[in-house]
Amino acid sequence: MSITTTLYLLVYKMEAIMLLEEEISSLRVMMESKLEKVNWFKIRFKQLNLISEKRLDAICHHQLYHQRMTKSYDKKVRLMVFQEEDLLLRKILTLPGKDQSK
């Protein structure tokens, strides 16, 4: 036989509500607060639209940040053109764990 209750309910005689459920009202919170279904759906719809707007704002902010970082990096890059006879320093990096002896 299993008990379908939580320890929180047994100790405090009320169901625990997460902070997220207070911010974005869940169906359980709606039932406890005795809101009408129509009003709850209206509130929920407004909250979901607000989430979409915040998501779009975050995407725009990320794109602007990426453009600023690209522009800043491009200022520091120097264009180098090499000819066929130019001497270059070539450094061969060894992988860790590989035997480096001859």
Model confidence pLDDT, tens digit, residues 23-73:
555 556 666 666 677 776 777 788 778 888 888 889 999 999 999 999 999
Number of domains making up the chain: 1
Q: Is residue 50 part of a domain?
A: yes
Q: Can you give the residue range of the structural domain that contains 24?
A: 19-55
* Span of 18-22, 64-68, 74-78 with lowest mean pLDDT: 18-22
Q: Is residue 44 part of a domain?
A: yes
How far, in Å, CA of 94 to CA of 83, rounded? Answer: 28
CA distances from 2 to 5, 13, 34, 94 (A): 9, 19, 30, 60
Q: Is residue 84 part of a domain?
A: no
pLDDT at position 97: 72
Q: Is residue 10 part of a domain?
A: no
pLDDT at position 73: 92
Q: Is residue 12 part of a domain?
A: no
Q: Is residue 76 part of a domain?
A: no
Q: Is residue 73 part of a domain?
A: no
Q: Is residue 4 part of a domain?
A: no
